[in-house]
A and B are shown apart, each in its own frame.
Chain A
Amino acid sequence: MSVRVNVLRQEHADAEAYWQRFKYSGDLNISVATLINELNDGIMQGEGEERPIHWECSCEQGLCGACAMVVNDRPGLSCQMFCDEILETSEEINIQSLSKFPVVADLAVDRSRMFAAMQEMKLWLEEPAKVRPARVPMQYDVSQCLMCGSCLEACPNYSLDGIFAGMAPAMSMVNLTLMSEDKAFKKEYTKRIYDGCSKSLACQEVCPMEIPIMEAMSTMNRLSVWSLWKLFGDHRENKRQAVFTNPEAPGSY
């Protein structure tokens, strides 16, 4: 049995994009990353000087985030999406680059904006990390972020030029907040994360590391924005956020 695979090709940043159709008839119990390797071997063995599919790849096992792309309309890591599973609900496999970032070539995109935003948001520690064992599990979870960009692709609010930085930088911010001062990143957080997030939670749905983003954000909101227990003493500062507070919510301070 052979399967149709469509790949969105683009020779370089300024070139026209086009769909290329392939027929693949090997083992289907493979990841999309392996499939791309197979297609490229086929291209290399073919007549003429055809250009192999360009893509980013490092670990090939879901630990580095390099190979994030969109497969059958779903963003994720190509090394973690399996052909046989995709074909359970679709006749074809459609592979394209993340659309929120500029294309470098074929499936490789320029994700530098994400990293630049983190620098603008000053995401680093100014003092040695504080170790509070109760916080370590959450710090660990959010530190798993691969900076792959899948969450930004799925996000209805993120755009390359927008002020909203998205959940990838937010995870770093949660980590750094938990190990320093609760209000250390408050201003940047409010401006670049909190205000722009419409809580679709598509990010959590697609995160390849299954980071509990919702839990991380509620922790961050509690620590950095809401200041639940100071609410009554400081109406002015918290007026806007007060509508979201739930007096039943457990607070730890």
Chain B
Amino acid sequence: MGKEILVVGAGLAGMTAALKLVEYGAAVTLVSPAYSERAQSVMAMGGINAALNTKQEDDSPEQHFEDTMRGGSFINDPEAVENLVRTAPEIIRWLEELGVNFTRDEQGRVDLRNFGGQKKKRTAYAGARTGKQISTALIAACRKHEAAGAIRRLTGWRFYYLLLEDKECAGAVILREDTNEWQSITADAVIMAVGGPNGVFGQTTGSRLNDGYAAGRLLLQGIELANLEMIQYHPTTVYTASKQMLITEAARGVGGRLFVPKEGKPWYFMEEWYPEQGALMPRDVVSQSIHKVCNELGLGIDGKSYVYLDVSHLPRQVIDAQLDEVVSVCRKYLKLDPYKEPIPVAPGIHYFMGGIKTDKEHRTNIKRLFAAGECSAQYHGANRLGGNSLLGALCGGFFAAKSAGSADPIDHAVANRLGEQGVEAALLDLRQWDQLPRGSQGKFLELRKELSEIMYGSMGIYRKERELLKAKKRLEAMREEAGRVRHPCRFYETRTLDANLLLALAMVESALERKESRGAHQRTDFAEKNDGRFKKSSSALYDNKTVNIAFM
């Protein structure tokens, strides 16, 4: 009999894992809160990296490896990155077969363009919406197996917790958010593909569905997380009333320039400071430069913390074909015409390099538990390169499926017992929630907003010990306070706040312990890189009611 595998999350990592598992003869249960069309993957614009070497630039996977490691300040897992860059061309071929509408060059081959932190043209793309175009193709491919019964989709369900015994995973309990129904899914292996924890900060460039519940809950259950302090501020995001929106790196990839007015003239600071790559330096460097221009030199637009991104000098057809999404965001949400005017941009939270600690096979510290996509940490180290997130999601799906698909069959009697106990305990949680004091929703909302303020305040582009210690102290107190409040009607929302607070604490503690500056983690009190002590991943483990941070 084939393996039974539970995949949590139906974005690109989850769908890829499911498709590969079907190839290996497994039966897949694919659980997600919403349809794959709603996943954050559809928001990925820019492209997917692969050293296809079709631009006569003498590119190679070795150079892709070098760039990825350097971009990540060498705390990425080199063995995993080796897999990533070697598998990339195969992934592009696979996507072509599935019908992804990549933009083509004059010879009809998949076109490649420049992206940040890489000197060669290596980023394949599908117009201005690469993630959406890949998603459409994968959704159709999954549909075939759904019809045949090899993939069972459960849409509208949230991960609640893992079924665990003796550091071995036997499945998970899931919750139907709308009705508070429970279900246990036992499995030979579980793949977590739940995305990044946007909810801890709120108003990131990503999806609200990626609420950060799962990572916090997994930490509580003893799953090891890594590099939580490594949070990517994308240099070019725009402020809108509801959230920060991304202006794709492609805008700089095709020649967009960053400037601020200085002595009555535009000053292209990136081009002056980094003559070779200019605005296409890795994202951490660009964000830190913008911070310096605004906060140290006081040259931000209108005295604030943003600079201009200008694409108005580019040929109209380049903007039309490759930046239509930028045009649409600017026109709709900023009422600004990027063909004529520069765009005011500021760094905003875009990606979490840290997450569930996984090795090159995508194994975690728990037997039968695997992770892929943004929620898992191994490929990107201290900073992710543009075009490597879609690649990481797909590659993670490939490798996690391979590993999960070769798990030994689980003891069904044990798994079923854990499943029954898991649902019983969850029902008890629900009853306890129901008994929490009524009328506490105002306080609930206050805590949510305060969490966001604390995290943006202490975990910005530059961090200092005093702020981090203050945040830690307050988060500890807030965890207590959160135990006494409830969302008026959503059990899951209440639990998400608890999980977010724990994860936030682990992020702050990781940042406190990394007493150096590396990649996305910059400390004003430890301004230098310290390879002797910290050329390592941080690891966060929850044990005995405390978060323990180690470097390994």
Interface residues, chain A, with chain B CB atoms under 8 Å away? 27, 29-31, 33-34, 37, 41, 44-52, 56-66, 79-80, 82, 104-105, 108, 111-112, 115, 118-119, 122-125, 128-129, 131, 133, 136, 139-140, 143-147, 172, 175-176, 179
Residues in A with CB closer than 8 Å to B442 are 44-46
Least CB distance, B275 to chain A, in whole angstroms: 35
Contact B489 A52 (CB under 8 A): yes
User: Is B297 among interface residues, defined by CB-CB distance under 8 A?
Assistant: no
Given A63-B43, A64-B43, A65-B38, the answer on whether A131 and B96 have CB atoms closer than 8 Å is yes
Interface string of B111-147 (1 = CB under 8 A from A): 0000000000000001101001100110011011011
**Which of A56, A58, A176 contacts B140, CB < 8 Å?**
A176
User: Is B98 among interface residues, defined by CB-CB distance under 8 A?
Assistant: yes
Least CB distance, A133 to chain B, in whole angstroms: 5
Contact B445 A62 (CB under 8 A): no
Among B238-246, B399-407, B461-469, the stretch that binds chain A is B238-246
Least CB distance, B385 to chain A, in whole angstroms: 22
Residue of A nearest to B449 (CB): A41
Interface residue count for B (Cβ, 8 Å)?
53
Contact B445 A172 (CB under 8 A): no
Residue of B nearest to A56 (CB): B34
User: Is B264 among interface residues, defined by CB-CB distance under 8 A?
Assistant: no
**Which of B104, B241, B332 contacts A80, CB < 8 Å?**
B332
Q: CA–CA, A64 to B332, complex, Å?
A: 16
Question: What 11 additional pairs, Cβ within 8 angstroms, besides A61-B245, A105-B178?
Answer: A31-B333, A44-B488, A56-B38, A58-B208, A79-B242, A124-B147, A128-B98, A131-B104, A136-B104, A140-B101, A147-B35
Contact B207 A123 (CB under 8 A): no
Given A115-B35, A119-B143, the answer on whether A140 and B99 have CB atoms closer than 8 Å is no
Least CB distance, A48 to chain B, in whole angstroms: 7
Least CB distance, A167 to chain B, in whole angstroms: 15
Residues in A with CB closer than 8 Å to B315 are none
**Which of B126, B141, B240 contacts A125, CB < 8 Å?**
B141
Residues in A with CB closer than 8 Å to B329 are 61
Least CB distance, B551 to chain A, in whole angstroms: 36
User: Is B438 among interface residues, defined by CB-CB distance under 8 A?
Assistant: yes
**Which of A58, A115, A146 contacts B40, CB < 8 Å?**
A58
Residues in B with CB closer than 8 Å to A145 are 136
Contact A57 B208 (CB under 8 A): yes
Among B39, B208, B335, max chain A CB count under 10 A is at: B208
Contact A64 B207 (CB under 8 A): yes
Residues in B with CB closer than 8 Å to A133 are 104, 108
User: Is B97 among interface residues, defined by CB-CB distance under 8 A?
Assistant: yes
Contact B243 A60 (CB under 8 A): yes
Least CB distance, B321 to chain A, in whole angstroms: 10
Residues in B with CB closer than 8 Å to A41 are 445
Contact B143 A61 (CB under 8 A): no
User: Is B159 among interface residues, defined by CB-CB distance under 8 A?
Assistant: no
Given A49-B439, A140-B133, the answer on whether A124 and B242 have CB atoms closer than 8 Å is no
Contact B147 A122 (CB under 8 A): yes
Residue of B nearest to A33 (CB): B242
Contact B126 A49 (CB under 8 A): no
Given A59-B207, A60-B208, the answer on whether A179 and B99 have CB atoms closer than 8 Å is yes
Q: CA–CA, A114 to B171, complex, Å?
A: 30
Contact A146 B37 (CB under 8 A): yes
Least CB distance, A109 to chain B, in whole angstroms: 11
Q: CA–CA, A69 to B489, complex, Å?
A: 22
Residues in A with CB closer than 8 Å to B127 are 140
Between-chain CB contacts (< 8 Å), 13 pairs: A31-B242, A41-B445, A58-B34, A59-B40, A59-B43, A61-B333, A64-B42, A65-B38, A79-B242, A136-B104, A139-B99, A139-B101, A143-B136
Least CB distance, A85 to chain B, in whole angstroms: 10
Least CB distance, B539 to chain A, in whole angstroms: 31
Q: CA–CA, A46 to B136, complex, Å?
A: 42
Contact A136 B101 (CB under 8 A): yes
Contact B101 A37 (CB under 8 A): no
Q: CA–CA, A7 to B141, complex, Å?
A: 38
Least CB distance, A163 to chain B, in whole angstroms: 19
* Nearest 7 pairs of A and B residues by beta carbon: A129-B99, A124-B144, A128-B97, A143-B136, A44-B445, A34-B242, A58-B38
Residues of B409-429 contacting chain A, CB below 8 A: none
User: Is B444 among interface residues, defined by CB-CB distance under 8 A?
Assistant: yes
Q: CA–CA, A62 to B141, complex, Å?
A: 24
Residue of A nearest to B143 (CB): A124
Interface string of B18-49 (1 = CB under 8 A from A): 00000000000000001101111011000000
Residues in A with CB closer than 8 Å to B137 are 129, 143
Residues in B with CB closer than 8 Å to A147 are 35, 37
Given A63-B43, A128-B97, A131-B96, the answer on whether A49 and B147 have CB atoms closer than 8 Å is no
Q: CA–CA, A247 to B258, complex, Å?
A: 54
Residues in B with CB closer than 8 Å to A124 are 140-141, 143-144, 147
Residues of B166-207 contacting chain A, CB below 8 A: 178, 206-207
Q: CA–CA, A231 to B492, complex, Å?
A: 60
Q: CA–CA, A143 to B126, complex, Å?
A: 11
Residues of B328-360 contacting chain A, CB below 8 A: 328-329, 332-333, 335
User: Is B305 among interface residues, defined by CB-CB distance under 8 A?
Assistant: no
Q: CA–CA, A44 to B155, complex, Å?
A: 28
Contact B37 A144 (CB under 8 A): no
Residues in A with CB closer than 8 Å to B445 are 41, 44-45
